[in-house]
Amino acid sequence: MKPIRACLKLSAFQRPLLGVGLLAALAAGSARSEIVLEGLKAIQQLENASGARKVVPKPKDAEPLDKTEVQDPAYAHTLRFLNGDLLRGNLISIDAQKGVRWRSPEARADIEFSTAKLAKILLPRTAKAANEGGACLVQLTNGDELTGNVVLLDDTKLVLETSYAGRMSFPRKRVQSLRLVKAASAAIFEGPTGMEGWTSRTGRNSWRYSNNGFTAQRPGNIGRDIKLPAMARLEMDLSWRGQLQFFLSIYTDGFEEYGNNSYMLQINSGYVYLQRVRRNSGSQHLGQAEVPGLHQRAKAHLEILVNKEARTIALLVDGVLVKQWKENMEWVGSGSGVLFGNQGMGYIRVANVLLTEWDGKIEDRSGAGGKSKTDVAELSNKDKISGTLESIKDGQMTFATAFAKMDIPLDRVQAIEFSGENAVVAEKNPADVRVIFAGRGQLTLALEKWDGQQLLGTSSNFGQVKFNAGAFNQIVFNYDQQKKDSPLEMFGSDEGEIEEQ
């Protein structure tokens, strides 16, 4: 019998999952049948022809799995289509020419999908892969990030030793920054890395974890105790679409709602407000400040600096000091937690949250406009030097300033920003995919093969590299199309969500 081949166009489907009867109907022609699909809804026509039942009970996996739930290995992976349809099963392989080969217990044969209508594939997160990385976080000029140990840096290249791909080499002009994780190991909290430890009582699905960050597109809050110290520097990346209505409560002693003892920063498209909040006593306004140009942006880096003893709270947006408030009454923040909240219906994303002890210095970078013409290194004591980074070798950084050439141990360096004068950004290719690390970071590449053991990919940033397939927990297809057509859907709840409590 000839193989069954169905080439179907993807469109809206009443149910987001492929039913048992439907798959069985497709595979009924032969135990060896091969099915080539591009979508789901048109399969109903085949279902009608085969006599398979058209209505199936809601499958148990219609909702995202809770992280603590024991998962059936036969449904370990999730395939998401551009229209939102989901299919659970096992990824068998990916080939640049043949597409995605998928196995489902309800089908008698493997299914092949064209990648043209795929959004992403979600893979199991392994503890080993999530914890492995390196002493350095590298950010490339196209926004990609990866971790590893610096072997060598000279005037042409950066060489990185990684646990997931061995030794990788990058043109220096493609490297934007280095952050030395060991030097920043004094971090009290860094994340988020998942839903565990976070609490919300404002409704199901209001906050979701995806791609190393939290997203919300409806009112609600999420919080946890991150052990805010008496001298605190709290940083995060905030991005939004639609009207920005975001609040951040610090030193809160509760996470059910924002009315607990705390200080609450409210940020909208043009202004920021600070309120003193007491449980059962309401809130008091402590002042406001304008944030010029915020309404014209869609993202910002927030930095909150707190001195409990001096009772001061300062806010910097993209390195520029917005305002420093002084509490003239008794300090009311009796906890050490944070609470993030969306007060509107716009989309909000919070990522790269970092908590460290603050040294009491406010570094207002309002005078630094545009890309730096020099390299800038920040040392672990927060001192900064500018000039030319000549090399990194054998754990030593050689840095030339206008006054002297210095050799500095790499473990005394916290971050390096490279000059943007000669920076080159990798060209985008419509066929590129984005692979998301199980720990932190992502890479954009042309995916040639995936077989469960290795992922073979190519990029002008690093050439052709074989990666350990277990290093990644997401493979994102058609990223630019998703960003343009469905910017909210691409940050869905695939990696878990806060349940109602």
| For residue 461, pLDDT beyond 90 | yes
122: Cβ contacts below 8 Å, ≥ 6 apart: 77, 78, 80, 473, 474, 494, 495
- CA angle (469 as vertex; 160, 108 as ends), nearest 5: 170
> In angstroms, rounded to a whole number, what is the distance separating the alpha carbons of residues 77 and 124?
7
Q: Where along the chain do its domains lie?
A: 20-118, 189-357
Assign domain 189-357 to a CATH class: mainly beta
> In angstroms, rounded to a whole number, what is the distance separating the alpha carbons of residues 305 and 171?
36
SS3 for 43?
A: helix
Give phi and psi for 84, each to the nearest 5.
100, -10
Amino acid making up residue 450: W
Residue 192, preceding bond cis, omega within 30 degrees? Answer: yes
Bridging pattern class, strands 35-37 and 111-113: parallel
Tell me what pLDDT residue 261 has: 92
| For residue 61, pLDDT beyond 50 | no
| For residue 52, pLDDT beyond 60 | no
Which tops the pLDDT comparison, 29 or 182?
182
Q: Over range 238-264, report the average pLDDT.
A: 90
**Considering the entire predicted model, what is its pTM?**
0.65
Amino acid making up residue 254: G
Tell me what pLDDT residue 3 has: 37
Tell me what pLDDT residue 438 has: 82
Which segment, 155-164, 247-256, 375-384, is predicted with the most confidence on average? 155-164
Which segment, 37-51, 189-203, 288-302, is predicted with the most confidence on average? 288-302
